[in-house]
Amino acid sequence: MPSSKTFGFLAALAAVAFFGSPSVSAMAEDGHGQPKPPRQQWSFAGAFGSYDKGQLRRGFKVYKEVCSSCHSIGLLAFRNLSEKGGPELSEADAKALAESYKIKDGPNDAGDYYERPGRLSDRFPPPFPNEQAARAALNGAYPPDMSVLAKARGYSRGFPLFLADALPGFAYQEHGVDYITALLDGYADTPKGVTLPPGQYYNLYMPGRRTGMPPPLSDGAVTYDDGSPQTVAQYAKDVSAFLMWAAEPHLEERKQVGLRVVGFLIVLSALVYFTKRKIWAKVEH
C-alpha cells in the first residue's frame, strides 16, 4: 500500500502541474537551449475572460499599419470589426475602412475583371496576388496567413505542466498568443560565434533561433490615441490579442454558453438527487 510520503509527493506534483512554478516556467528549456515564451496575462483567459475592446482596436491598428504589408488575414471580413465581441467599430467606421480598399471583382458583362471599393461583406484582400509574387518580393519567403495563427501556433510547456494541459477545463489555451508575443519581442543581436545565413535574423523564440522576417516593430512606430505605451512589448501584446480574436471571434459567446450549460447541469444533478431520495425514502431496504 502506498505510504503517506508517496501520497504527499503525488499531491505536490499535482499542485505544481495545476498552479505552475514561476522558476520552472521562466527557466524551462526544451533540451536544445530553446527558451519557453513567457506566460502573459490576458483579459480573455479563463472561464470568465473576455476581450479588451481597446486592446483589440490597438492590435488591429498594429496589424493594419505594420503586419498587413506582408501577411494576409483572409478569413476576416470588414463587417466582423463592427460585430459584438470584437473591436466593435461603428458601422460607419467599418464601412469607411472597407471602402479604402480596392477589391478585385468580376467578370462584368464584357467578361473583364475590375476593381471596386470594398464593402462590409468583403474579406480583407491579401497583400500579394499569389504565392509566387510574395516569394519574389520577399527573397523567397512566404508569410503565413494570420487568420487562425493564434490557434495554430503554440509550444509545449513541458513536464509537469503538460499534465494540467491534458485535463479538460484546466488546459492553458493561450500558448499561441504567448508565442506570438514572445516572437515579436524576441529579436536580439546575434551572439558571438553564431553565423546566420544572409537574410536571416536572430530571434530567441523562433525554432532554430533564426527567422527570415526582419524585426517588424520598433518603439513609436504606431501611434496610439488612448495613451497606451508605444513600445515593442505593448505592440506585440496588442496585435497578439487581435489575432486571438480573429482566430476565435465567438470566444465570449462560447464561454457564456458553457457557463450556462454547467449551471444547468448542476441544477439538474441536484434535482435528480433529491428526487431519488424522495422516491426511495419510503422503500424498505
| 256 vs 117: CA distance, rounded Å | 37
What is 31-76+138-157+170-249's CATH superfamily?
Cytochrome c-like domain (1.10.760.10)
| 224 vs 192: CA distance, rounded Å | 37
pLDDT value for 23: 34
pLDDT value for 8: 46
pLDDT value for 65: 97
DSSP 8-class letter at 80: G
Mean pLDDT by 10 residues, the chain (285 residues): 44 41 37 78 91 97 97 96 95 96 91 93 95 93 95 79 70 89 95 91 93 95 95 97 96 91 95 90 74
Q: Where are the domains of the chain?
A: 31-76+138-157+170-249, 77-122, 255-285
pLDDT value for 11: 44
Phi, psi of 29, deg, nearest 5:
-135, 160
pLDDT value for 128: 95
Indicate the SS3 state at residue 141. Answer: coil
CA atoms within 13 A on the CB side of 101: 21
263, with CB counted inside 10 A (0-12, 13-18, 19+), is exposed
Contact (Cβ atoms closer than 8 angstroms) between residue 224 and residue 54: no
pLDDT value for 168: 66
